[in-house]
């Protein structure tokens, strides 16, 4: 996979930053507007997939290598479970919104409001973005030596 | 009538998954079936002229009881939407699994035709 022509490379190098920022916006404002962790995570992953399609797999792997993506994936799942367990410890039941009840009673419809829901959205976005990137990366690695063995067919 | 169209979409997907010989077409048929089911669940919670189930600043100027009343009387049902969002995530995972199975099978056999994939080969 060598990547595409110079036009596609230039345009995608401009656009990828905007797509990444839009994904972060969707995640952070997930409790106020439509969107949230899953949609924003898919957008984050799609910016890296655009990079992979335009520049080839090696370039995208150099930007976000496979062990780093795997660690981000695990970090997202760990943060989400940590928020849930903290709700159990501090609030008395699983996934209770302990920040909203005790420490941060902020105004509704502000950016900093709703307690642990934005934190959960960030954790889910990290998890979904990293794991979707991992899925497409491993599919393209699967395609790497993609020659059906014709010599074995002729022998039979 | 919309439910009948939804059933028609489901039957199209079922036909594609059962009759076609190409593995990629079978995967497409299964995904069409899943989207038909998602569409059915969304239509269960729809009401004519309903708004999206989001409370915005216009709602907050009212009293708390009035917020609940206007929200209940004007918005569509948010529960099937949350359910369908989860179903979409799961269908994404199963789609990735099916596509990877197709890729490995093509690498092993050199064809997508399921009538030619018969013998077990190491």
**Closest residue of chain A to B89, computed from CA coordinates:** A38
Q: What is the DSSP letter of B59?
A: H
Per DSSP, the residues of A19-78 read HHHHHHHHHHTTTTSS--HHHHHHHHHHHHHHHHHHH-HHHHHHHS-HHHHHHHHHHHHH
What per-residue confidence (pLDDT) applies to A101? 59
**Closest residue of chain B to A152, computed from CA coordinates:** B109
Interface check B1 vs A, CB under 8 A: no
Q: Judge whether A139 lies within some domain.
A: yes
What per-residue confidence (pLDDT) applies to A155? 39
Q: Judge whether A33 lies within some domain.
A: yes
Give me the number of domains chain A comprises.
1
- Tens digit of each residue's pLDDT (9 = 90 or more) over B46-95: 877 777 777 766 666 666 667 777 777 777 888 888 889 889 989 988 99
What per-residue confidence (pLDDT) applies to B58? 64
Structural domain range at position A148: 6-155
What per-residue confidence (pLDDT) applies to A60? 79
**Token pair for B43:** 């239509």
Picking from B61, B92, B97 by the largest number of A CB atoms within 10 A of its own CB, the best residue to mutate is B92
**Closest residue of chain A to B53, computed from CA coordinates:** A34
CB-nearest to A139 from B52, B99, B108 is B99
Say yes or no for a CB contact (<8 Å) between A139 and B60.
no
Q: Is A100 exposed, middle or buried (0-12, 13-18, 19+ CB in 10 A)?
A: middle
Average pLDDT, chain B: 83
Q: Judge whether A31 lies within some domain.
A: yes
The proportion of chain A whose per-residue pLDDT surpasses 90, expressed as a percent, equals: 12
Q: Which of residues 75-104 of B touch A (CB under 8 A)?
A: 85, 89, 92, 96, 99-100, 103-104
* Residue A85 scores a pLDDT above 60: yes
Euclidean distance between CA atoms A46 and B118, whole angstroms = 37
Euclidean distance between CA atoms A1 and A100, whole angstroms = 49
Domains of chain B and CATH, by start:
2-109 (1.10.287.3510)
Q: Which long-range contacts (CB under 8 A, 24 or more apart) does A104-109 make?
A: A108/B60, A109/A32, A109/B56, A109/B57, A109/B60
Q: What length is written for chain A?
A: 156
* Residue A71 scores a pLDDT above 80: yes
Q: Which residues pair with B75 in a beta bridge?
A: B51
- Tens digit of each residue's pLDDT (9 = 90 or more) over A95-132: 777 776 566 666 666 677 777 788 888 999 999 999 98
Q: Judge whether A45 lies within some domain.
A: yes
Q: What is the DSSP letter of B113?
A: B
- Half-sphere exposure (CA, 13 Å, Cβ side) for A81? 7
Euclidean distance between CA atoms B22 and B112, whole angstroms = 5
Q: Judge whether A1 lies within some domain.
A: no
Q: Judge whether A52 lies within some domain.
A: yes
Q: Judge whether A38 lies within some domain.
A: yes
CB-nearest to A109 from B60, B110, B111 is B60
What per-residue confidence (pLDDT) applies to B94? 92
Q: How many Cβ pairs closer than 8 A exist between chain A and B? A: 36
What per-residue confidence (pLDDT) applies to A2? 67
CB-nearest to B54 from A34, A138, A150 is A34
């Amino acid at each position: 996979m060598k990547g595409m022509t110079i036009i596609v490379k230039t345009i995608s190098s401009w656009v990828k930053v905007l797509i990444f920022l839009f994904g972060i916006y969707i995640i952070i404002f997930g409790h106020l507007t439509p969107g949230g962790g899953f949609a924003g995570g898919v957008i984050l992953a799609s910016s890296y997939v655009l990079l992979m399609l335009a520049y080839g797999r090696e370039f995208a792997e150099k930007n976000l290598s496979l062990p780093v993506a795997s660690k981000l994936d695990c970090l997202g799942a760990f943060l989400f479970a940590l928020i849930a367990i903290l709700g159990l410890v501090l609030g008395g039941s699983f996934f209770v919104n302990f920040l909203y009840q005790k420490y941060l009673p902020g105004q509704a419809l502000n950016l900093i409001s709703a307690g642990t829901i934005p934190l959960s959205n960030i954790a889910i976005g990290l998890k979904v973005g990293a794991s979707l990137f991992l899925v497409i990366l491993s599919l393209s690695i699967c395609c790497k030596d993609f020659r059906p063995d014709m010599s074995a067919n002729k022998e039979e | 009538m919309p439910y009948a169209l939804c059933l028609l979409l489901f039957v199209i997907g079922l036909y594609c998954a059962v009759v076609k010989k190409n593995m990629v077409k079978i995967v497409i048929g299964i995904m069409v079936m899943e989207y038909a089911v998602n569409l059915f669940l969304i239509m269960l919670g729809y009401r004519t002229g309903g708004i999206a189930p989001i409370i915005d600043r216009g709602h907050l100027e009212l009293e708390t009881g009035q917020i609940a009343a206007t929200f209940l009387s004007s918005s569509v049902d948010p529960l099937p939407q949350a359910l369908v969002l989860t179903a979409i995530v799961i269908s994404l995972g199963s789609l990735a699994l099916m596509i990877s199975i197709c890729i490995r099978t093509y690498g092993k056999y050199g064809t997508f035709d399921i009538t030619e994939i018969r013998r077990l080969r190491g």
